[in-house]
Amino acid sequence: MQEVTATSRHYVDRLFDPDPQKVLQGVIDMKNAVIGNNKQKANLIVLGAVPRLLYLLQQSSSSMELRTECAVVLGSLAMGTENNIKSLVDCHIIPALLQGLLSSDLIFIEACLRCLRTVFISPVTPVQLLYTDPTVIPHLMSLLSNSLRTQEYITQIFSHCCKTPEHQTILFNHGAIQNIAPLLISPSYKVRMQALKCFSVLAYENTQVSMTLVNVLVDGELLTQVFVKMMQRDQPIEMQLTAAKCLTYMCRASAIRTDDSCIVLKTLPCLVRMCSKEHLLEERVEGAETLAYLMEPDVELQRIASTTDHLVAMLADYFKYPSSVSAITDIKRVSPVCSAVEMYSYCPERLFSCPITQLCSHLLLSLDHDLKHAHELRQAAFKLYASLGSNDEDIRKKITETENMMDRIVSGLSESSIKVRLAAVRCLHSLSRSVQQLRTSFHDHAVWKPLMKLLQNAPDEVLVMASSTLCNLLLEFSPSKEPILESGVIELLCSLTQSDSPALRVNGIWALMNMAFQADQKVKVEIVRCLGTEQLFRLLSDPDTNVLMKTLGLLRNLLSTRPHIDQIMSSHGKQIMQAVTLILEAEHSIEVKEQTLCILANIADGNTAKDLIMTNDDMLQKIKYYMGHSNVKLQLAATFCVSNLIWNEEDGSQERQDKLREMGFVDILHKLTQSSDPNLSDRAKTALQQYLA
């Protein structure tokens, strides 16, 4: 060990030799010593070779040859472990190398770019370092024309360092598209491939880039056609897949129509092919995820995909990993460990000494790798199922009929990996849009149980999906509604309504609304008790219209059937009337006002609750106002309300009729019988009949 350090030390010492020729030889020897030797690399870094190499690289007095060799050695050091990269970045290697790019010597520039490339493609390097100096990107663009190597390295740097919309914009503004497009027909496969990757990261969720791309010509050919050619089945899989991603992103950014033949007949089939068993796990994952993204908004694409190459059945294979084959390889991996354990068992005190623990950690590492792939495959499959089934009932049926599908979703909901849980619940959500599935498979597999479990302490993104699914499970025809109610869901939903996330608030109140629909008195009371009037009114002034609408919907569902109306109004009448007044007075959409007037009509249907309106002249004036509103829906709702107030056969109907007549309601009703809207005139006539009886 010491010996190794001593030789390493010798290499570093030679970098300080006064004779430049000897320094050069030292660097060259160092280069040959570190190639493929991670230990040597680490040693040299520890011994401080990096700052010296960087110094030599930056010195203008150094010969070009020396500077180039320094860049090569640094590039070699960067090829080692992530720790190496960290050390290099900490020594400010990036600005030094970027500075080197200003040289006029192409060989030196290529060595610097190669090293930069290696540093930037590492996940430990902060991407932002590429953008700190605003002159770097334009300079890199200008270097693109220099050689195949500069093209390969620069495009590779771009494709790894373009992570945010801001990065996309910077690259776009510096002419990335015009500069990189010609590289798609480069004679070098590596250049073509890296250029293609650049376009995929540039176009992702970027309308500006995507819209520009569709009009770009490469050697007289539209870029989309170039991508289509790259998807030909004799091209390398990596190229087919990346070209399909480019077209997918352009399509999702509305630059290509979903019914364009390059999407329907080329991109979609290509992505389906990528899901097939014959491809690498990574390719299958990426293919499935991209396909899910492509067809998410388009039912026609979903229909086509669902019948292409048995996709639905093919995805079932995603759950069969680690397969029996890889289980065998697992055994192979385990066996040396087992035999080692067996060997050491004769000498127990040595069992836990070095070699065996190394073996174990190796084994764990590879198991970990398999596990990760298994997770990735499962979540990709769930995502794709979710996308496939998001609109079409027949496809949903096909999915749920796939072998063990519901069981897989159920177990997916409780997997350790968040990614899998999220994808599983997305899939479940997509399928829960089917009335038939809610009635059958969802109930048979008691999916509500893991779903409820998932709702406890899950991150927001999981919660949104899970609660949204719960909303559907709580629909009145869902047989799962009863057991869910019994599981104490109300409290959970009420707590969701207090979330900071509007999506969660909507889902919480939506679920409560569904739950309250035609519910028992007991449930309704429980909802009101648990939610609390304060929270209810807070939700009525929620900035999110969706939340407001669902809250009004909840109120309306709570205030149905006479005994319920009276009971709730007797305990919360004052606040509810207040809230109704506020909403009717404030600026709101027609839908919100209509919903509010409907609540009022429900209140008017109560026995005792009626009085809350009748004794409130202000409210009566409001109703009158809405009867004369220009919007028929509001007129109808207000008329409904009056009709309920003056309904015969109820105690005190005579007094109420008199009072309203005095206030001029009868005249308005007469006018409304002349309405061109048949519903409204009928409703007005029915109301007037109450006076005649």
Which is nearer to another protein, 29 or 392 (by Cβ)?
392
Q: Tell me the window of 103-111, 309-317, 490-498, 502-510 that interacts with another protein (CB under 8 A).
A: 309-317
Residue with tokens 């509604």: 481
Which is nearer to another protein, 310 or 372 (by Cβ)?
310
Options 304, 424, 494, 619; binder of another protein; rule CB under 8 A: 304
Which is nearer to another protein, 269 or 483 (by Cβ)?
269
Say whether residue 300 binds another protein (CB under 8 A).
no
x/- letters, 226..265, toward another protein (CB under 8 A): ------xxx------------------------------x
Q: Is the dihedral of CA 598, 601, 606, 611 positive or negative?
A: positive
> Cα-flanking dihedrals φ and ψ of residue 217, to 5°?
-105, 135
**Min separation Cβ 231 and another protein, Å:** 9
DSSP H or E run through 508: helix 502-516
Q: What single-letter amino acid sits at 213?
A: L
Options 257, 310, 320, 671; binder of another protein; rule CB under 8 A: 310
Coil, strand, or helix at residue 217? Answer: strand
**Min separation Cβ 492 and another protein, Å:** 41
Which is nearer to another protein, 64 or 265 (by Cβ)?
265
Which is nearer to another protein, 54 or 301 (by Cβ)?
301
Q: CB under 8 Å to 173, separation ≥6 — which residues?
A: none
**Min separation Cβ 282 and another protein, Å:** 20
Which is nearer to another protein, 300 or 655 (by Cβ)?
300
Instruction: List the beta bridge partners of residue 217.
Output: 222
Give, rounded to a whole angstrom, the gap between the first and last alpha carbons of the chain: 109
Q: Which of 230, 142, 228 is nearest to 180 (CA)?
A: 142
**Min separation Cβ 430 and another protein, Å:** 20
Q: Whole-angstrom Cα distance, residue 431 to residue 451? A: 14
Residue 424 has which token pair? 């599983």
Q: Whole-angstrom Cα distance, residue 28 to residue 21? A: 11
Q: Tell me the window of 217-225, 303-311, 408-416, 622-630 that interacts with another protein (CB under 8 A).
A: 303-311
Q: Which of 477, 474, 504, 471 is nearest to 486 (CA)?
A: 474
Residue 592 has which token pair? 């919100």
Q: Whole-angstrom Cα distance, residue 180 to residue 184? A: 7
Instruction: Name residues contacting another protein, limited to 383-402 (CB under 8 A).
Output: none
Q: Number of residues in contact with another protein, rule: CB under 8 A?
A: 11
Q: Whole-angstrom Cα distance, residue 472 to residue 480? A: 10
Q: Tell me the window of 33-41, 50-58, 305-313, 521-529 that interacts with another protein (CB under 8 A).
A: 305-313
Instruction: Name residues contacting another protein, limited to 418-457 (CB under 8 A).
Output: none
Q: What single-letter amino acid sits at 687?
A: A
| Total length of the chain | 693
Which is nearer to another protein, 307 or 621 (by Cβ)?
307
Which is nearer to another protein, 307 or 357 (by Cβ)?
307
Q: Tell me the window of 131-139, 156-164, 304-312, 353-361 that interacts with another protein (CB under 8 A).
A: 304-312
Options 308, 495, 560, 575; binder of another protein; rule CB under 8 A: 308
Say whether residue 309 binds another protein (CB under 8 A).
yes
Options 5, 215, 307, 353; binder of another protein; rule CB under 8 A: 307
For residues 530 and 564, the answer to whether their CB atoms sit within 8 Å is: no
Which is nearer to another protein, 127 or 264 (by Cβ)?
264
Which is nearer to another protein, 307 or 487 (by Cβ)?
307
Q: Whole-angstrom Cα distance, residue 598 to residue 614? A: 16
Which is nearer to another protein, 267 or 657 (by Cβ)?
267
Q: Whole-angstrom Cα distance, residue 400 to residue 386? A: 11
Instruction: Name residues contacting another protein, limited to 588-607 (CB under 8 A).
Output: none
Q: Whole-angstrom Cα distance, residue 36 to residue 448? A: 54
Query: Does the N-terminal peptide bond of residue 322 adopt cis geometry, omega within 30 degrees of 0?
Result: yes
Say whether residue 175 binds another protein (CB under 8 A).
no
Helix axes 448-455, 460-473, angle to 10 degrees: 140
**Min separation Cβ 484 and another protein, Å:** 34
Q: Which of 679, 513, 472, 512 is nearest to 595 (CA)?
A: 513
DSSP 649-677: TSTTHHHHHHHHHHTTHHHHHHHHHT-SS
Q: Tell me the window of 166-174, 250-258, 302-310, 668-676 that interacts with another protein (CB under 8 A).
A: 302-310
**Min separation Cβ 125 and another protein, Å:** 36
What residue spans of 47-163 are helical by DSSP H?
49-58, 64-78, 82-90, 93-100, 106-120, 136-143, 148-161
Q: Which of 500, 511, 402 is nearest to 455 (CA)?
A: 511
**Min separation Cβ 475 and another protein, Å:** 30
Which is nearer to another protein, 402 or 675 (by Cβ)?
402
**Min separation Cβ 309 and another protein, Å:** 4
Q: Tell me the window of 200-208, 307-315, 360-368, 546-554 that interacts with another protein (CB under 8 A).
A: 307-315
> Cα-flanking dihedrals φ and ψ of residue 295, to 5°?
-100, 0
Q: CB under 8 Å to 518, separation ≥6 — which residues?
A: 476, 557, 560
Which is nearer to another protein, 304 or 455 (by Cβ)?
304
* Cα→Cα distances 84→38, 75, 156, 305, Å: 9, 11, 20, 45
Which is nearer to another protein, 309 or 444 (by Cβ)?
309
Instruction: Name residues contacting another protein, limited to 268-297 (CB under 8 A).
Output: 269
**Min separation Cβ 265 and another protein, Å:** 5
**Min separation Cβ 378 and another protein, Å:** 22
Which is nearer to another protein, 20 or 269 (by Cβ)?
269
**Min separation Cβ 313 and another protein, Å:** 8
Q: Which residues bind another protein (CB under 8 A)?
A: 232-234, 265, 269, 304, 307-310, 314
